[in-house]
A and B are shown apart, each in its own frame.
Chain A
Amino acid sequence: MSEHHHHHAATSPYLEKRRDGEQTAVLEARVKAIEDLLVSKGLVTTAALDRMVEIYENDLGPMNGARVVARAWTDAAYRERLLENGTAAIAELGFSGLQGEHIVVVENTPAVHNLVVCTLCSCYPWPVLGLPPSWYKEAPYRSRVVIDPRGVLAEFGTEINADVEVRVWDSSAEIRYLVLPERPAGSEGMDEKALAALVSRDAMIGVTRAEAAAA
């Protein structure tokens, strides 16, 4: 399957599709006829439809990834499976991606800080993180993070000690990376749900840490 090539434009005729005004008007009328029918039967409301689109456009979100991280923090066997085969361990929690996308989880430790970028475009582990933030897609982050990762981290307010190695992972259409942040001090005794609330999108990209005070 090759529906999902980010690095090659114009592989999908869908994306190239241009309709004239008349064709579009016919399609609009057909959709409106269905909507009118469903509204008249009380099966949908316009507001509910708007909300539905919003959920699907926005909510494949970082909460999924946060649940993965919280599970890894509380379940050592899960953590091991996650680091060994990210895609499979993430799928255990019900999140999975399109074919050909492998999610590799990289673990932060006291000695190593991981950071994710896609230098070519904006590849991103969307099943666990939702939509990438705009800065992730923009050239300044994509180009600078490779040259000066510590400088970029400092801009996010993340100071990394000189004796900590910073590893930058470049995503591709084939491999997406997810950072497993360090479990923050002060989170002892918290349950999985409370822990998930400490895990931000940015921490799973690696530009920040998970903080116990973040909740």
Chain B
Amino acid sequence: MTEQTRPEIAIMDGAAALPRRSGELVFHDEWERRAFAMAVSLCEQGQFEWDEFRDCLIAEIRCAESVHAPGDTAAPGYYEHWLKALEAVLERRGHAVSATL
């Protein structure tokens, strides 16, 4: 495994920009960290290209923006989009994920 951040991940900008405060990544809940790490890990292993994941992420964000007005706190958070994008990319590769609740 490489021990350096990949610039295409670390410095995404625009809609896909990672939530940061003074440069630090912001995670509110542990599941956000796990979801972040899984997407990055799979990309590091060559399971998918980062561009594909980022495009899915942007599509999820755009889709939510068309439903929720800016500032609507009922709108999904950044890592909810991230999670959906991860599920979508995995599904394309035949890894159907079903959470049992």
The residues of A with any CB-CB pair to B shorter than 8 Å are: 1, 3-4, 6, 12-19, 24-35, 37-38, 41, 43-44, 48-53, 55-57, 59-60, 94-99, 121-124, 126-127, 130-132, 137
Of B31, B41, B73, B87, the residue contacting A52 (CB under 8 A) is B41
Instruction: Please tell me if the beta carbons of A31 and B3 are within 8 angstroms of each other in the complex.
Output: no
Contact (A35, B34) CB under 8 Å given A24-B29, A132-B22? yes
Residues of B within 8 A of A19 (CB): 77
> Number of residues in B with C-beta < 8 Å to the partner?
53
A sample of 19 inter-chain contacts (CB < 8 A) reads A1-B17, A4-B17, A4-B20, A15-B26, A24-B29, A28-B31, A30-B87, A32-B99, A34-B35, A34-B87, A37-B97, A43-B42, A43-B47, A49-B38, A56-B9, A60-B5, A60-B23, A94-B7, A96-B7
Chain A residues with Cβ under 8 A from B21's Cβ? 6, 15
A131 adjacent to B10 (CB under 8 Å): no
Contact of A97 among B11, B14, B31 (CB under 8 A): B11
Q: Are A13 and B10 in contact (CB under 8 A)?
A: no
Q: A95 to B42, Cβ gap below 8 A? A: no
Contacting A30 at CB < 8 Å: which of B13, B23, B24, B83?
Answer: B83
Q: Which of B34, B40, B83 has a CB less than 8 Å from the CB of A56?
A: B40
Instruction: Check B25–A56 contact: CB distance below 8 A.
Output: yes
